């Protein structure tokens, strides 16, 4: 297949809504640290904050701008820390507040920003408010801060409505009253250990404003807001009317998600963020029926960014990617927000494994064709990092880690694995601790003999940071080179549009003006090599181990007017300077 790339842009997405100054977060590369699995400082097999702090120079050298830490707060860990018992304490398993302070200061000294996770939709059933609410029984003022209701049926034996938990089963659990009788029910959109707050209650608002200030005062640069779309529930908690509601999530309006009332909350939080110096940011984890609904969270007086889950869920398909890129740029551009791009996180099958499987999916059990998956994952990374806006990396993707798809059931810890018909269930596979060095588990994750809370595969010795460092063919060095180039060519992350160039089916080609003398990103998503003719220039980086073959076009004529024929291998992306 051969194609001459025309210089004429086919579409310039994203009409700019405002010309606000470019801020650090608009094109930041933000690296997600999952504290349980990043680095274990004390040898108990569980990652911790001192472990993260010790490894921050690695992240600085990798070339990221900021770190987002999943929750490390006091928690019984019913949902790996997304069940918070005390929002102002560090769980002893991760260290203490001094360790958090140390982490933030060290990161800042290295030029890295720190974003922490905020979990406002629900807390832990071990949170003081909830314990007191249970203790005091019906009529307790503390019960109003949650959704307690009488059950339906002659004896209150049925849940108050038909809502289903994201993790499977009903979204309600019945309590036993202090006198031992079966009592009221409470709402939990996730595990029973995660009661939902009632955001109609002023004390809940007050509490979270105070929690925001607590972490901002400690110096953090912002928040990733868990279930940002869930805080407000439709008045009266109306029935949905049918089961298997999970299938509708993200595509149909739900009375417990994406209610308009959430926006007032974020307007209030934005005012708090703006009181602090240094551009502190809010990032929404918002699953909405459309990308346009997600953009509403990013209006100028609300949050700064939202995860682009539609992009994450898009298969390895040129037309589908082209469409989602245009759609994302247009929707975010309309509110003046940067688009974001993400391929992996702690809730989904890593993209090296997703792309290894013919049918894709975010909760996979099959390892698939690993070589193919890695090839595509590397190409997908170069595509993502060439797009305008901000990109999120998930720890270990820079090592090309696959999901561990064969974890035995007895070591699994994801609560959704244990609840029938839940949305997820295989999230442990992307949470296996990182291999840093050595030939035996825990591969430098912690001190020798310390183990790791999820077992690491034997094959990970060759994927460790130490094994890949200095090997130009390694995925780690590819990430380092790509991030270094992104810094050298600031226009790569900036802007709000791409200029699509005509390309054969299965190939994506776009131009990013202003990136040095001109920049092309060429991605061959087909299973065969393609030959494209570019108007001169030179390769900057290839996702394949070998640089692309490039010869003068037009039957060998050396005339540069004819351009250069570049052969792009199957499932490969190339950055090209013109």
Active centre residues (catalytic): 226, 275
- Residue 225 binding ligand NOJ, by CB under 6 A: no
Residue with Cβ nearer ligand NOJ (75 or 464): 75
Q: Are 3 and 530 in contact (CB under 8 A)?
A: yes
Q: Does 436 bind ligand NOJ (CB under 6 A)?
A: no
Encoding tokens for residue 435?
């291999």
Count the helices and strands in the chain (H runs, E runs).
13, 22
C-alpha distances in angstroms, 275 versus 118, 270, 272, 281? 18, 9, 5, 11
Residue 227 Cβ vs ligand NOJ, minimum distance, rounded to whole Å: 5
> Rounded to the nearest 5°, which phi and psi values hold at 248?
-90, -15
How far apart are CB 82 and ligand NOJ at their closest, in Å?
A: 3
CA-closest candidate to residue 321, choices 486, 532, 526: 526
Contact status: 91 vs ligand NOJ (CB under 6 A): no
Mask: binding to ligand NOJ, 271-290, rule CB under 6 A, as x and -? --------------x-----
Q: How far apart are CA 538 and CA 207, in angstroms?
A: 56
Cα 328-525-425 angle, rounded to 5 deg: 65
x-marked contacts with ligand NOJ along 20-59 as a string, rule CB under 6 A: ----------------------------------------
Instruction: Please report whether residue 164 would count as binding ligand NOJ according to CB under 6 A.
Output: no
Token pair 């460092």 is at which residue?
469
Q: Environment class of residue 362 by beta-carbon count within 10 Å: exposed (0-12), middle (13-18) or buried (19+)? A: buried
Q: What is the DSSP letter of 383?
A: H
Tokens standing for residue 6: 């025309």
Q: Name which position in 72, 94, 163, 190 contacts ligand NOJ (CB under 6 A).
A: 190
Residue whose CB is less far from ligand NOJ, 83 or 398: 83
CB of 87 to ligand NOJ, least distance (A): 13
The residue (of 287 and 576) whose beta carbon lies closer to ligand NOJ is: 287
Please tell me the distance from the alpha carbon of residue 431 to that of residue 396, in angstroms, as a whole number: 9
Q: How far apart are CA 59 and CA 395, in angstroms?
A: 10
Q: Is residue 125 at the binding interface for ligand NOJ, with CB under 6 A as the rule? A: no
Among 27, 40, 79, 164, indicate the residue that binds ligand NOJ (CB under 6 A): 79
Give me the residue whose beta carbon is nearest to ligand NOJ: 82
Q: Is 386 in the site for ligand NOJ (CB under 6 A)?
A: no
CB of 352 to ligand NOJ, least distance (A): 20
Q: Does 82 bind ligand NOJ (CB under 6 A)?
A: yes
Choice between 114 and 286, CB closer to ligand NOJ: 286
Q: What are phi and psi of 109, to 5 degrees?
A: -65, -25
347 binds ligand NOJ (CB under 6 A): yes
Cβ count near 217 (within 10 Å): 9
Q: What is the contact surface with ligand NOJ in residues (CB under 6 A)?
A: 79, 82, 119, 190, 226-227, 285, 346-347
């Amino acid at each position: 297949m051969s194609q001459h790339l025309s210089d004429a842009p086919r579409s310039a997405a994203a009409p700019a809504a405002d010309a606000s100054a470019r801020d650090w977060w608009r094109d930041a590369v933000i690296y997600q640290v999952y504290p349980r699995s990043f680095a274990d400082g004390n040898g108990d097999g569980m990652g911790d904050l001192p472990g993260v702090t010790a490894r921050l120079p690695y992240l600085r050298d990798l070339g990221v701008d900021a770190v987002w830490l999943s929750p490390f707060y006091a928690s019984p860990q019913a949902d790996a820390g997304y069940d918070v018992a005390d929002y102002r304490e560090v769980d002893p398993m991760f260290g203490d507040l001094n360790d958090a302070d140390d982490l933030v200061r060290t990161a800042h000294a290295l030029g890295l920003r720190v974003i922490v996770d905020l979990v406002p939709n629900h807390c832990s059933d071990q949170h003081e408010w909830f314990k007191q609410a249970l203790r005091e029984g019906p009529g307790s003022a503390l019960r109003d801060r949650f959704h307690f209701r009488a059950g339906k049926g002659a004896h209150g034996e049925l849940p108050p409505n038909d809502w289903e938990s994201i993790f499977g089963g009903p979204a309600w659990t019945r309590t036993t009253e202090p006198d031992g009788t079966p009592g009221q029910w409470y709402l939990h959109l996730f595990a029973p250990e995660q009661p939902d707050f009632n955001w109609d209650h002023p004390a809940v608002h007050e509490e979270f404003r105070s929690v925001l200030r607590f972490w901002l005062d400690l110096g953090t640069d912002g928040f990733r807001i868990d279930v940002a779309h869930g805080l407000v529930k439709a008045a009266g908690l109306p029935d949905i009317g049918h089961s298997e509601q999970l299938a509708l999530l993200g595509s149909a309006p739900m009375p417990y998600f994406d209610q308009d009332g959430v926006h007032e909350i974020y307007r209030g939080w934005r005012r708090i963020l703006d009181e602090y110096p240094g551009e502190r940011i809010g990032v929404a984890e918002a699953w909405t029926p459309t990308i346009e609904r997600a953009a509403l969270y990013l209006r100028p007086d609300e949050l700064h960014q939202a995860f682009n889950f539609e992009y994450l869920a898009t298969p390895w398909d040129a037309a589908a990617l082209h469409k989602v890129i245009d759609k994302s740029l247009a929707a975010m551009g309309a509110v003046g927000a940067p688009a974001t791009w993400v391929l992996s996180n702690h809730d989904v099958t890593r993209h090296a494994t997703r792309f290894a499987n013919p049918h894709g999916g975010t909760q996979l059990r099959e390892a698939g064709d690993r070589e193919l998956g890695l090839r595509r994952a590397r190409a997908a990374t170069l595509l993502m990092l060439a797009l305008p806006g901000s990109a999120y990396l998930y720890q270990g993707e820079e090592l090309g880690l696959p999901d561990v798809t064969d974890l035995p059931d007895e070591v699994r810890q994801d609560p959704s694995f244990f609840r029938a018909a839940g949305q997820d269930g295989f999230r442990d596979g992307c949470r296996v601790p990182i291999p840093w060095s050595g030939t035996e588990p825990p591969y430098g994750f912690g001190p020798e003999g310390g183990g790791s809370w999820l077992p690491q595969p034997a094959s990970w010795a060759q994927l460790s940071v130490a094994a890949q460092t200095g090997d130009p063919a390694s995925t780690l060095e590819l990430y380092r080179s790509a991030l270094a180039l992104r810094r050298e060519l600031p226009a790569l992350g900036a802007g709000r549009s791409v200029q699509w160039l005509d390309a054969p089916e299965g190939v994506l080609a776009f131009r990013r003006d202003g990136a040095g003398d001109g920049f092309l990103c060429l991605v061959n998503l087909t299973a065969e090599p393609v030959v494209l003719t570019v108007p001169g220039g030179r390769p900057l980086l290839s996702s394949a181990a070998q640089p692309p073959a490039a010869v003068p076009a037009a039957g060998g004529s050396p005339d540069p007017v004819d351009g250069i024929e570049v052969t792009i291998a199957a499932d490969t992306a190339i950055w090209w300077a013109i």
